[in-house]
Amino acid sequence: MATNVIPQTLTLSALAALLLLLGACQDKKPEPAKSGPPEVGVVSVSTQDAPLELELPGRLSASQVAEIRPQVSGIVVKRLFTEGATVKAGQPLYQLDAATFEAERARTAAALLKAEASLAVARSKAARDAELLKADAISRQAADDSAGLLKQGEADVAVARAALDAARVQLDRARITSPISGRVEISTVTAGALVTANQTQALTTVQQLDTMQIDIVQSSAEMLTLRRQLEGGSGSRQVKLMLEDGSVHPQPATLQVSGVTVDRGTGAVTLRATVPNPKGTLLPGMVVRAKLLAGVDSGVILVPQQGVSRSATGDATALVVGEGNKVERRRLVLERAVGNQWLVTSGLKVGDQLIVEGLQRARPNQPVKPVPAGSAAKKKGEGRPPAGAASGAASGASAAKGG
């Protein structure tokens, strides 16, 4: 029995010693880090040039639009164009049944011949009576009657010629042509349809798509600013178009004219610009975003947006490193955003050290250690071992442990 008790006692003693050793290792605390002011990343406030770029909604429309309607009544005999194709000014689009108009032209032409024949007879008689009057062979009354018949014959010829011209116009209108060059829409009628003169429904529409027009809606306040910039020479009349799919139209638009009336409901003014459309990618009715460079504000303060926050009341504030490297809170007045920066009109001056990194560690009146923005992240990246080296070290340690 004695021989069995001794090994058990030794085992319990070794286990107790191991537990005491582990407890001592756990009670050992790491050395406290060196205390000091927290580091914050700062940028030096300076003046820059800020472009005044307006992004406004716009809608495209054709530069010329012609709704094709018949000027005479008749039956459509044939459509003479391909829907969606490009047509030239004067190109025939529809042919109406012209039989009635041709008959009227022939009738008026015959009436003109009759009137001209009657005029020739009246002219001869008037000439003879004038000679006879000189010889006192007829009375003056007879000579005057002959002269009057000559004038009446001349008037009858003029009326007949005008009627023939009108008949020819009606005959020409039976062949409906395009008044402008452009793309033709789908046809609303087919062969055999009855159309009437000046009807409400258009037979088709021709739109000139090169160039196009853009109607841009702008507030009256922005319009006044733009006008001052253009008059001062710092603005630009070129407009960049952003299409619905996010792409940019390769040809810039040119600002042409602004409306003269402010909408009472919206307080907006319509600006009109023109844009080349050689490939026909722009279509009437498309909505675009127009970027207009209204001018450049020179010598203004621009600061990164991450350095500006909002208070509970909505005021814009920023933290700067002041005298003695102590944090100061400034209330800012912001005018507008310029890309990822704010244009500041009040609250900062040139040379201020604006805190943009480590804002969570900065408190007003607290001393901090300012460093250039981005340097802390750079140092952290330099102190980190390469991924390959760390993996290799871990593999070596595992191999050593396994050996």
SS3 sequence of the chain: CHHHHHHHHHHHHHHHHHHHHHHHHHHCCCCCCCCCCCEEEEEECCEEEEEEEEEEEEEEEEEEEEEECCCCCEEEEEECCCCCCEECCCCEEEEECCHHHHHHHHHHHHHHHHHHHHHHHHHHHHHHHHHHHHCCCCCHHHHHHHHHHHHHHHHHHHHHHHHHHHHHHHHHHCEEECCCCEEECCCCCCCCCEECCCCCCCCEEEEEEEEEEEEEEEEHHHHHHHHHHHHHCCCCCEEEEECCCCCECCCCEEEEEECCCCCCCCCEEEEEEEECCCCCCCCCCCEEEEEEEEEEEEEEEEEEHHHCEECCCCCEEEEEECHHHEEEEEEEEEEEEECCEEEEEECCCCCCEEEEECHHHCCCCCECEEEECCHHHHHHHHHCCCHHHHHHHHHHHHHHHHC
User: Of the ranges 85-89, 237-241, 258-262, which one carries the lowest mean pLDDT score?
Assistant: 258-262
- What CATH fold (topology level) applies to the domain 70-96+174-201? OB fold (Dihydrolipoamide Acetyltransferase, E2P) (2.40.50)
What CATH code is assigned to 42-49+299-376? Answer: 2.40.420.20
Over range 192-197, report the average pLDDT.
96
**CATH code matching the domain that covers 98-173, chosen among 3.90.550, 1.10.1060, 1.10.10, 1.10.287:** 1.10.287
Sign of CA dihedral 153, 157, 162, 166: positive
Note the pLDDT of residue 5: 46
Distance CA 251, CA 253 (A): 7
User: Of the ranges 178-182, 224-228, 247-251, which one carries the lowest mean pLDDT score?
Assistant: 224-228
Map out the domains of the chain as residue ranges.
Answer: 42-49+299-376, 53-62+208-296, 70-96+174-201, 98-173
CB atoms within 10 A of CB 358: 19
Same fold for the domain at 42-49+299-376 and the one at 98-173?
A: no
As a whole-number percent, the residues of the chain with pLDDT over 70 amount to 80
286 pLDDT tier (thresholds 50, 70, 90):
very high
Q: Does the structure show a pLDDT above 80 at 377?
A: no
Q: Does the structure show a pLDDT above 80 at 368?
A: yes
Distance CA 346, CA 334 (A): 7
Note the pLDDT of residue 216: 86
Nearest in space to 41 (alpha carbons), one of 256, 359, 263? 359
User: Full-prediction pTM beyond 0.75?
Assistant: no
Q: Is beta strand 204-219 parallel, antiparallel or unpaired with respect to 182-184? A: antiparallel
Note the pLDDT of residue 388: 45
All residues at 6 or more sequence positions from 304 whose CB lies less than 8 Å from its CB, including other chains: 43, 340, 341, 342, 354, 356
301-337 tens-digit pLDDT: 999 999 999 988 989 999 999 988 999 999 999 988 8
Note the pLDDT of residue 24: 52
- Whether the CB-CB separation of 219 and 292 falls below 8 Å is answered with no
Over range 16-25, report the average pLDDT.
57
Q: Residue 270, preceding bond cis, omega within 30 degrees?
A: no
User: Of the ranges 46-60, 278-292, 356-370, which one carries the lowest mean pLDDT score?
Assistant: 46-60
What is the side-by-side strand order in the sheet with 92-96?
A: 175-177, 92-96, 74-79, 194-195
What CATH code is assigned to 53-62+208-296? Answer: 2.40.30.170
Note the pLDDT of residue 51: 77
- Whether the CB-CB separation of 287 and 334 falls below 8 Å is answered with no
Distance CA 155, CA 150 (A): 9
Task: Please measure the distance between the N-terminal and C-terminal CA atoms of the chain and give it in whole angstroms.
Answer: 41
- Whether the CB-CB separation of 221 and 269 falls below 8 Å is answered with no
Note the pLDDT of residue 147: 93
Note the pLDDT of residue 262: 77
Over range 48-69, report the average pLDDT.
88
User: Of the ranges 254-263, 372-381, 389-398, which one carries the lowest mean pLDDT score?
Assistant: 389-398
220 pLDDT tier (thresholds 50, 70, 90):
confident
Between CA 262 and CA 268, with CA 267 as vertex, the angle to 5 degrees is 70
Over range 267-293, report the average pLDDT.
88
Q: Which amino acid is at 57?
A: P
- Residue appearing with tokens 């001052």: 228
User: Of the ranges 17-31, 59-73, 369-383, 388-402, which one carries the lowest mean pLDDT score?
Assistant: 388-402
Over range 231-239, report the average pLDDT.
68
- Distances in whole angstroms, Cα of residue 83 to Cα of each of 7, 80, 125, 182, 190: 107, 10, 62, 12, 12
Please, what is the average pLDDT of the chain?
83
- Whether the CB-CB separation of 89 and 316 falls below 8 Å is answered with no
Between CA 122 and CA 128, with CA 125 as vertex, the angle to 5 degrees is 150
Q: Is 144 left (phi over 0), alpha (psi -120 to 50) or beta?
A: alpha
